[in-house]
Amino acid sequence: MQALYAQLLVGLINGSFYALLSLGLAVIFGMLNIINFAHGALYMMGAFCAYFLLTYGGIGYWWALIIAPIAVGIFGIILERTMLQWLSGLDHVYGLLLTFGIALIVQGIFQNYFGSSGLPYSIPDELRGGVNLGFMFLPIYRGWVVIFSLVVCLATWYLIERTRLGANLRAATENPTLVRAFGINVPRMITLTYGLGVGLAALAGVLSAPINQVRPLMGADLIIVVFAVVVIGGMGSIMGSIITGFTLGVVEGLTKYFYPEASNTVVFVLMVLVLLVKPTGLTGRTA
């Protein structure tokens, strides 16, 4: 049973990353109509940012949790201003190709300087150790990742679904021209949305740095799983992305316990099943 709970926890942690990343993808897709293939590379940049801060600046985890998303978010904003904005009005495909190119560039540069092996990033002192819950031993850091991610996801949901800013954002997704007529600066909103989505990816990167090592390709394979998560959940609803992300993480964890051979493939197999039964995805609006 210990092993089962341990895998469940791993599943919840992976689920947190799926949720944070698919949330960002959904928010970006809503505003920019672009599937951000660079999301995995930006997630990796978040982790590297934390690593650089610690190694070269002596700045620890807690500051990294704030600085890395902002730094990567600014990088994202520069990308949006210099490149992505020129794609509005073109086929979706071009956004995918452009961001794929960006991902190749970023990952290639990091691979050149850091190889493919992982760099260690230690757990901050405050979150070391664990507690015995009676039925299992819970490493504090892992519990922290799950809870913190959940809080961030819910905060994003609140921001988009319940605040005035979010209402403007959703309105601009539906009809940007009309929203501009009301005097709202839609292009700036689009830029900030991209920054926000990218910042969420970087935050996930910082969270994962102490668990998975910091590697140039850490986001490359992850992003493909997140795509499958997005196909399963559909990008229509924020809450849908969060729930699907966590659920699939748990399912993957359970598979690791019951049938480890399929743990890499279970999300893709589920994607196929969902497509056969309900092609629009679980929270389905058609794109």
Partner 1 sequence: MTVVTDDTLPMTPRAMRDEMIVFGVMAVLLALVPLSGIYPFFVMQALCFALLACAFNLLVGYGGLLSFGHAMFLGTAGYVSAHALKVWGLPPELGILVGTAAAAALGVVTGYVSIRRQGIYFSMITLALSQLLYFIYLQVPFTHGEDGIQGIPQGHMFGFLDLSKSTVLYYVVLGGFLGGFLLIYRSINSPFGEVLKSIRENEQRAISLGYKTEQYKLLAYILSGTLAGFAGSLKVFVAQNASLTDVHWSMSGEIVLMTLVGGLGTVFGPVVGAFVIIAMQQYLAGFGQWVTVIQGVIFVTCVLTFRRGIVGEIAHYFRRSL
Contacts with partner 1 by CB under 8 A lie at 29, 35, 83, 86-87, 90-98, 100-109, 111-112, 220-221, 224-225, 227-228, 230-231, 261, 264-265, 268-269, 271-272, 275-276, 279-280, 287
With the C-alpha atoms ordered 46, 237, 18, 127, is the resulting torsion angle positive or negative?
Answer: positive
Q: Looking at beta carbons only, is 122 or 265 nearer to partner 1? A: 265
- In terms of CB distance, is 69 or 234 closer to partner 1? 234
Question: Taking a C-beta distance cutoff of 8 angstroms, is the pair 51, 121 a contact?
Answer: yes
Distance in Å, CB of 54 to partner 1, minimum:
24
The least CB distance from residue 95 to partner 1, in Å, is: 8
What is the secondary structure of 196-231 as a DSSP string? HHHHHHHHHHHHHTTTS-B-TTTTHHHHHHHHHHHH
The alpha carbon of 29 is separated from its chain's Cα centroid by a whole number of angstroms, namely: 13
The contacts found for 122-125 with CB under 8 angstroms, 24 or more apart, are 122/210, 123/61, 123/210, 124/60, 124/61, 124/62, 124/210
Which of 146, 173 has the CB closer to partner 1?
Answer: 173
Least Å distance, CB 102 to partner 1, is 6
The nearest distance, CB 159 to partner 1, in angstroms, is: 25
Cα angle: 16, vertex 155, 242; to 5 degrees: 35
**Residue showing tokens 């056969």:** 276
- In the complex, the smallest distance separating the C-beta of residue 4 from partner 1, rounded to whole angstroms, is 23
Closer CB to partner 1, 100 or 157, in the complex: 100
Instruction: Report in angstroms how near the CB of residue 93 gets to partner 1 at its nearest.
Output: 5
Distances (CA, A) of 18 to 50, 60, 165, 250, 287: 20, 25, 25, 11, 21
- For partner 1, give the closer residue by CB, 6 or 271: 271
Residue identified by tokens 């389905």 is: 284
| Residue 29 vs 61, nearer CB to partner 1 | 29
Strand partners, 157: none
Instruction: Give buried/exposed letters for 208-228 (b at 16+ CB in 10 A, else e).
Output: bbbbbebbbebbbebbebbbb
What is the C-alpha separation between 226 and 261, in angstroms, rounded? 20
- The residue (of 107 and 173) whose beta carbon lies closer to partner 1 is 107
Count of other CB atoms within 10 angstroms of residue 158: 12
Rounded to the nearest whole angstrom, what is the least distance from the CB of residue 108 to partner 1 in the complex? 3
CA dist 285 and 287 (Å) reads: 6
Q: How far is the CB of 265 from partner 1 (least distance, A)?
A: 5
User: Of 57 and 279, which CB lies nearer to partner 1 in the complex structure?
Assistant: 279
